[in-house]
Amino acid sequence: MWRLVGQDTARKTMERAVEHGVISHSYFFAGPKGVGKATAAVEFAAALNCREGAPPCLDCGSCRRILDGVHPDVLVVGDEGRLRSQDKSRDTEIKELGIDKTREMQHWAGLLPFEGRFRVFVIVECERLSEEAASSLLKVIEEPPPHVVFILTSRLEETVLPTIRSRCQRVPFTHVPASEIATLLEERFGLPVDESRKLARQSFGTPGWAVTAVQEPHVADVRERRLKDIEAMARGGLLERFRLVARMDREFKESRTEVYDSLDLMIEWWRELLLRRLDLPSEQKEGEEPPVFEDGSLRVDELTGFIHKIVETKSLLADNVNPQLALESLMTAMPRL
Ligand SMILES: [Zn+2]
């Protein structure tokens, strides 16, 4: 039984592979952050090595050891960011994966599996591989030993070497509907309906975030505060906006990731308004209340233009532009609700 939420296309691809025994040597799990790519990769590794009738059973010795990260034939690389994702000092998330990681994989790939059928290597957020590491990975996936399966995950697909991507079977991942995330929270954690729906809505289609928020309540508090700020900025005048910029500027000096996260959330929030404005399907819909009331007076090009502006601000900050200036310029460009 897969624990993966939503992702029917990905699930079917993995099920068919296991069922028919037609396994690619390399898979590329592509999609947004927090939608279950790494979870799916580990479960797929379990399914490939499970000894029970309906793989992955997630209960036999092999499956359990894989889930616990102690199976000798399954190596997960680059998951530190995810594990420590709520750590304030986590600039780990944007850390490069160096050549030592791919050398280690190269070494293990040459050996037969100890106890499983396949030796599986999972590389989480593979866009972080250094140039050197990526070319050494390319060598292994060009001529993979028969018992080896690589699963690469990425949320920035276009930044990964095309020569790597072209050797992999691409498996698409998407945002998950809020209703499915709410059900997950009710069933797995016994959360009351109103609480699970609120978290599902605030997760913007990412069960990974919702699960963390249940386990670490301060994560939900932080997001609630950020969402309030985002709305206050959208409704407020320049004075209110610049007041919030001053705070973000202070935050940026303490932890850049905090500010990147706020901007990511801002993208989701404005994207949601855009989808509703265009009457397009969104993971938030299905009878859920909108993240914010908007009377339909914003133009589509204003919304798309501003979303591009947030993305641009993120890359300016990464390029070490003066954060206060970059954020003030963003505020000036923000449409007013
Ligand atoms: Zn099993």
Q: What is the domain range of residue 190?
A: 177-215
pLDDT for 147 equals 94
pLDDT for 101 equals 85
Show the low-confidence residues of the chain (pLDDT under 70): 80-94, 281-294
208 shares its domain with 273: no
pLDDT for 286 equals 53
pLDDT digits (tens, 9 = 90+) for 180-219: 999 999 999 999 999 999 999 899 899 999 999 999 999 9
Residue 3 within a domain: no
Residue 202 within a domain: yes
Q: How many CB atoms lie within 10 A of CB 218?
A: 9
The Å distance, Cα 60 to ligand 1 centre, comes to: 4
The Å distance, Cα 328 to ligand 1 centre, comes to: 53
pLDDT for 133 equals 93
pLDDT for 284 equals 61
**Residue 48 CB contacts under 8 Å (≥ 6 apart), including other chains:** 18, 23, 55, 116, 117, 118, 120, 149
Q: Which amino acid is at 269?
A: W
152 shares its domain with 197: no
**Residue 248 CB contacts under 8 Å (≥ 6 apart), including other chains:** 259, 262, 323, 327
24 shares its domain with 163: yes
If one counts the domains in the chain, the total is: 3
The Å distance, Cα 231 to ligand 1 centre, comes to: 46
The Å distance, Cα 63 to ligand 1 centre, comes to: 4
